[in-house]
Each structure stands twice: as structure tokens, then as C-alpha cells.
């Protein structure tokens, strides 16, 4: 359970969308890029439109900021997250079993 709560996984697709799991809660949406940074705009939480999750979800739904730190590392900042301070994420390449 502890590992689930502190795990952040982000997958950015070539079509401008993303999937994210943070604290065991999946979300998805669109991504926009600007220089060495990107913003994740959440449109769905638990596979439901943000508006259907409730007014609190809508109010806290701010873009998640990603900043490139160098090869295979980004800084992830979600002010509405369980951990609002920036988190350093490392790229993990999935391999088939």
C-alpha cells in the first residue's frame, strides 16, 4: 500500500495525450509543450470526466507541470497532489517479459 501511495507513473503518447497514475488513482488528458517544459491537463479521473467526479475535483484540477532536467529525468509538480512539492521522476523503459 505504501508503495502505491508514493508511486507516480506518467505515460505521454505521440498523439498529445497522457495517462497518469498517482497514489493509485488513474487519470488521463491532453499534454501541451513549451520549450523544455510540458503541462498535463487532466480531463478524466477514474475514467470519468473531471466534472462528474465532483466540484472539489473541478476546483483542484490545475495543470500538472513537467520540467526537463536532463537525459531521462523530469521534475513533476502537481500543486493539488498528495505531495505538492516537486518530485524528480526517472524514465523507465518497459521490457516485455
CA separation for the pair 49, 54 (Å, rounded) = 10
* 10's grid cell: 506518467
With a cut of 80, say whether residue 93 has pLDDT above it: no
> In this structure, is residue 7 part of a structural domain?
yes
> In this structure, is residue 97 part of a structural domain?
no
Give pLDDT, residue 56. 83
> In this structure, is residue 80 part of a structural domain?
yes
pTM of the model: 0.82
Answer yes or no: are the C-beta atoms of 78 and 22 closer than 8 Å.
Answer: yes
Which residues constitute the domain of residue 12? 2-90
pLDDT digits (tens, 9 = 90+) for 25-77: 899 999 999 999 999 999 999 999 999 988 888 888 889 999 999 988 999 99
> In this structure, is residue 51 part of a structural domain?
yes
Give pLDDT, residue 40. 96
CA separation for the pair 54, 58 (Å, rounded) = 7
Q: How many domains does the chain have?
A: 1
> In this structure, is residue 26 part of a structural domain?
yes
Q: What is the CATH number of the domain that holds 64?
A: 2.40.128
> In this structure, is residue 36 part of a structural domain?
yes
> In this structure, is residue 96 part of a structural domain?
no
With a cut of 80, say whether residue 94 has pLDDT above it: no
Amino acid at each position: 500500500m505504501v508503495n502505491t501511495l508514493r508511486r507516480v507513473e506518467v505515460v505521454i503518447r505521440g498523439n498529445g495525450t497522457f495517462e497518469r497514475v498517482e497514489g493509485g488513482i488513474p487519470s488521463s488528458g491532453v499534454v501541451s509543450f513549451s520549450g523544455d517544459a510540458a503541462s498535463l491537463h487532466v480531463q478524466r479521473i477514474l475514467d470519468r470526466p473531471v466534472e462528474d467526479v465532483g466540484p472539489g475535483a473541478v476546483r483542484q484540477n490545475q495543470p500538472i507541470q513537467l520540467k526537463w532536467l536532463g537525459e531521462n529525468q523530469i521534475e513533476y509538480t502537481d500543486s493539488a497532489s498528495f505531495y505538492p512539492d516537486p518530485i524528480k521522476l526517472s524514465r523507465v523503459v518497459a521490457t516485455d517479459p
